[in-house]
Amino acid sequence: MNTNKWKSLHALVVSAFALSAGAFAPSAGALSVTVAGTLTENSLGPNDFFADGVSRSFEIGALTLDLQGAPAAQATYTFLFQESGFNNQFIAQGGVLNDPGDLFGSLTRTYAASGAPSFSFTSALGAVTNAGNSLTKPNFGVLLGQNLNSLPAGPVRTALESRGLLRQYDALLFLNDAGASEDRDFDDMVLGVNLLAVPEPGTYAMMAAGLLVLIGVGRRRMR
């Protein structure tokens, strides 16, 4: 094979891989996420996750997904932090993150409809579903669009940074398991949520057509 034919084959392979990756990879798309209702609650005292001594106001309600035309969305839940004396759990469509054994672990689930994604927190003191999240304990607080690169220096930042978890999240979930006389610290189990749109079915047809064109071009160049 001469040099020019080799270069043509290499360019064809690179183009095919790029086209496949672009078609099959989920994308941020036009997804949006909100919190249903207008309830808020303040943490009492410093929140150990942020380690800055500031009391925060969390939105309390169902995390709600709007697909905005996408056929489905992938939600990845990452267990970032815990400070609890209970063996709490996060459960989503049969997948479980255990506190503390799965710290820094993650699970991904697909949701094919807009609305409140199905997930829940459980503890020895009860359970709270996403759709049923309210001011009644246990509950969880939500912060939207949080970039954890703003975390102050300290052990939490170091642990997340060393694992590549110091990033932007579409939402952060803060379980308040109602322990310690309802301490309202919202740091018993902290999860980051990232959302990605699943490609439209037509995208796969376009990819197949593009690959056929590339194959045809490649055959002509190889002659």
pLDDT tens-digit series, residues 139-164: 999 999 999 999 999 999 999 999 99
Number of compact structural domains in the chain? 2
In this structure, the answer to whether residues 187 and 212 fall within a common structural domain is no
2 pLDDT exceeds 80?
Answer: no
In this structure, the answer to whether residues 134 and 164 fall within a common structural domain is yes
3-state secondary structure (DSSP) of residue 152: coil
More confident residue, 117 or 208: 117
In this structure, the answer to whether residues 67 and 134 fall within a common structural domain is yes
In this structure, the answer to whether residues 39 and 144 fall within a common structural domain is yes
Span 165-189, mean pLDDT? 87
Single pTM value for the model: 0.79
Domain that holds residue 217: 3-24+203-222
In this structure, the answer to whether residues 110 and 178 fall within a common structural domain is yes
In this structure, the answer to whether residues 140 and 171 fall within a common structural domain is yes
In this structure, the answer to whether residues 9 and 84 fall within a common structural domain is no
12 pLDDT exceeds 80?
Answer: no
The whole-number pLDDT of residue 85 equals: 85
Q: Which residues of 16-48 are buried (b: 16+ CB within 10 A; e: fewer)?
A: beebeeebeebeebebebebbeeeebebeeebb
Check: CB of residue 66 under 8 Å from CB of residue 33: yes
In this structure, the answer to whether residues 15 and 41 fall within a common structural domain is no
